[in-house]
Homo-oligomer: A and B are copies of this chain.
Amino acid sequence: MAYKEQYPSALLTEAVEAISSLPGVGRRSALRLALHLLKQPAENVHHFTSAINDLRDGVCYCQRCRMISDDEICAICADKTRDQRTICVVESVRDVMSIEATGQYHGVYHVLGGIISPIAGVGPSDLTIGQLTERVNALENPQTAEVILALSGDVEGETTAFYIYRQIEASGIKVSSLARGLGFGDDLEYADSLTLGRSITNRQIFKP
């Protein structure tokens, strides 16, 4: 409070408060950004704030996979060359972008919009699990289709994966999850013992 009162102007105080509400931005960085914005031409600042308002007000989500999209069906779901019978289930939009950046995946996605977390008060009904179940049930011959559970390896991720598995197992669809083990280039010496243990248990045939 004492620090707050040192700002020389109420408008500056308001702006610093607003900017420091962003994750990972402290009051010092917020002040630096506010003073930077003050030095810019007014039209640049308005362009900046409009881009953010436009995103928040105009954003659409794909009707099928809940990915951010400019259309009702996103570019990935609309792409006929992609395998529409392999559905990769992820927590967030960012995960889709990470997997797309690998260039290794040619199926489609389903964005849950979060993860089951009793502590954060997030239950299955807050996520798009119902829509995933419908998608799976609408597939012809689900036995030849696949759901990949690409969730984090922590307790919440495992809980969510297990919950989804129970919802869709009756359909007979193949359910897989991401391979876990040492990262490429990882040093054995610095690997945590859980990861190293799993890497040994799930060892693979050496293919030189």
- Interface positions of A (Cβ within 8 A of B): 6-12, 14-15, 17-19, 21-24, 29, 31-38, 40, 42, 44-60, 67-70, 74-76, 92-94, 96-97, 100-101
Contacts A14-B54, A49-B49, A52-B19 given; indicate if A96 touches B38 (C-beta within 8 A): no
> Are A17 and B49 within 8 A (Cβ)?
no
Question: A79 to nearest B CB, angstroms?
Answer: 12
> Are B33 and A23 within 8 A (Cβ)?
yes
Q: Which of these, B23, B48, B53, B96, contacts A32 with CB under 8 Å?
A: B23
Q: Can you offer 28 A-B residue contacts whose CB atoms are under 8 A?
A: A6-B101, A8-B74, A8-B93, A8-B96, A8-B97, A9-B69, A11-B54, A11-B55, A14-B51, A14-B54, A15-B51, A15-B52, A15-B54, A15-B55, A18-B48, A18-B52, A19-B52, A21-B48, A22-B36, A22-B37, A23-B36, A24-B32, A31-B97, A34-B55, A38-B55, A42-B56, A46-B53, A49-B50
> Are B34 and A45 within 8 A (Cβ)?
no
Q: Which of these, B8, B10, B24, contacts A29 with CB under 8 Å?
A: B24
The 4 closest A-B CB pairs, nearest first, are A18-B51, A49-B49, A15-B55, A45-B56
> Are A59 and B74 within 8 A (Cβ)?
no
Chain B residues positioned under 8 Å from A12 (CB to CB): 55, 59, 68
Other A-B pairs beyond A7-B97, A8-B69, A11-B54, 13, CB < 8 Å: A6-B101, A8-B68, A8-B96, A11-B55, A12-B55, A22-B37, A23-B33, A24-B29, A31-B94, A35-B94, A40-B56, A49-B50, A49-B52
Q: How far is the CA of A136 from the CA of B162 in the complex (A)?
A: 76
Question: A120 to nearest B CB, angstroms?
Answer: 13
Chain B residues positioned under 8 Å from A50 (CB to CB): 49
Q: How far is the CA of A100 from the CA of B8 in the complex (A)?
A: 10
Question: A62 to nearest B CB, angstroms?
Answer: 9
Chain B residues positioned under 8 Å from A48 (CB to CB): 18-19, 21, 52
- The residue among A14, A45, A47, A56 with the most chain B CB atoms within 10 A of its own CB is A56
